[in-house]
Amino acid sequence: MCGIIGLMAKKEELRQSLGELVLPMFDCMAERGPDSAGLAVFAPAVEPPLRRFSLFSDRDGYDWNGLARSLEADLGCSARIVTRDNHAEVVAAVGDDPFRGWLRRRGNGVRVLAVGHSIELFKDVGRPDEVARRYGFSALRGTHCVGHTRMATESQVSPAHAHPFTAGEDFCLVHNGSLSNPYSLRRLLEEENLEFETDNDSEAACRFLQWRMRKGDTIEQALGSAFEKIDGFYTFLIGTAKQMVLVRDPFACKPAVVAETDDYVAISSEFRSLAHLPGVAEANIFEPLPEQIYVWRVAA
């Protein structure tokens, strides 16, 4: 199993309470995925060259402030840091590659969960409702968010194996299903010098799509080649800075339900996690068709 959820707020006031709205959706999907959970929220963009870096450390009580100070000292930039439990967000005027290079040299086991101007990402092992409370999901604000509750079927349960997976900047993917050919995808991508963080099949799909987009594909074109190259069962929900994208495999093996109103677009594996949403009784509720690409764009 596994549960996926997505919520895009079309109006400013809902963006202020995005976390509160999504929390019951998330809690409900704990039944589909009780072993780990994650959420990516697309918050107001920081001005380039600033970037948001979502970081994770396995060590409890990690000295995040010390990390920020040495980042400032080593790379000569100012760094703003917000910490919560095993997670921290650093905002600094530094590129993705220099940041990762610096982190590797420092060798302290801190991992980058996400990079971009908008994306904030939290994921960890544990019951989804506990993960949500530990990382304060209810206070999150933003235009849209993409979340996942995991029931591991093919690779280990660890914070790194939790979804969402990310690749590049402001790009993430959650997956319900299992892929048959993740290793041939990996071999294809490793020849392109892409590096993987885990042996998880969903990471392969995430990196494949983002690689296609880096080559110039639109998300629709990238998914078109995914239909050719990716074999297996999937409902993918993808978040980018300006879009939320949903697809199901050609057999529609894994579920998804969409409820859309003038105020929001809400996506979940099951309707019951949408049942609490305001105005859902009048919402346009539909089941996405197999092999169709559904794209919602953030309204200005």
Q: How far is the CB of 220 from another protein (least distance, A)?
A: 21
CA 259 to CA 226: how far, in whole Å? 25
Please name every residue paired with 267 in a beta bridge, in sequence order, or none if there are none: 6, 258
Which one of 255, 265, 266, 267 is in contact with another protein (CB under 8 A)? 255
Q: How far is the CB of 271 from another protein (least distance, A)?
A: 4
Please name every residue paired with 51 in a beta bridge, in sequence order, or none if there are none: 92
Instruction: For another protein, give the closer residue by CB, 256 or 298.
Output: 256
Say which of 2, 28, 172, 206 is annotated catalytic. 2
Under the binding rule (CB under 8 A), the answer on residue 257 touching another protein is yes
Known catalytic residue at 253: no
CB under 8 Å, gap of 24 or more: what pairs does 99-103 form?
99/51, 99/53, 99/71, 99/75, 102/71, 102/74, 102/75
Instruction: For another protein, give the closer residue by CB, 128 or 159.
Output: 128
**Identity of the residue numbered 284:** N
Instruction: For another protein, give the closer residue by CB, 81 or 274.
Output: 274
Question: Which range in 191-199, 211-219, 248-256, 292-300 contacts another protein by CB under 8 A?
Answer: 248-256
Which one of 2, 274, 293, 298 is in contact with another protein (CB under 8 A)? 274
Count of residues binding another protein (CB under 8 A)? 15
Which one of 38, 270, 293, 296 is in contact with another protein (CB under 8 A)? 270
Instruction: For another protein, give the closer residue by CB, 122 or 264.
Output: 264
CA distances from 120 to 81, 220, 227 (A): 13, 24, 28
Beta-sheet pairing, 232-240 with 243-248:
antiparallel
Under the binding rule (CB under 8 A), the answer on residue 290 touching another protein is yes
Which one of 1, 152, 285, 295 is in contact with another protein (CB under 8 A)? 285
Under the binding rule (CB under 8 A), the answer on residue 271 touching another protein is yes
Instruction: For another protein, give the closer residue by CB, 145 or 283.
Output: 283
- Return the closest-CA partner of residue 146 out of 74, 72, 244: 244
Under the binding rule (CB under 8 A), the answer on residue 289 touching another protein is yes
For residue 231, count CB atoms less than 10 angstroms from its CB and return exposed for 0-12, middle for 13-18, buried for 19 or more.
Answer: middle
Under the binding rule (CB under 8 A), the answer on residue 252 touching another protein is yes
Under the binding rule (CB under 8 A), the answer on residue 82 touching another protein is no
Q: How far is the CB of 181 from another protein (least distance, A)?
A: 21
Question: Which range in 67-75, 111-119, 193-201, 251-259 contacts another protein by CB under 8 A?
Answer: 251-259
Under the binding rule (CB under 8 A), the answer on residue 157 touching another protein is no
Under the binding rule (CB under 8 A), the answer on residue 147 touching another protein is no
Under the binding rule (CB under 8 A), the answer on residue 282 touching another protein is no
Relative orientation angle of helices 96-106 and 64-75, to the nearest 10 degrees: 120
Tell me how many degrees the CA angle 252-154-129 measures, rounded to the nearest 5: 80
Give catalytic residues, as residue numbers.
Answer: 2
* Chain residues that interact with another protein, rule: CB under 8 A: 251-252, 255, 257, 270-276, 285, 287, 289-290
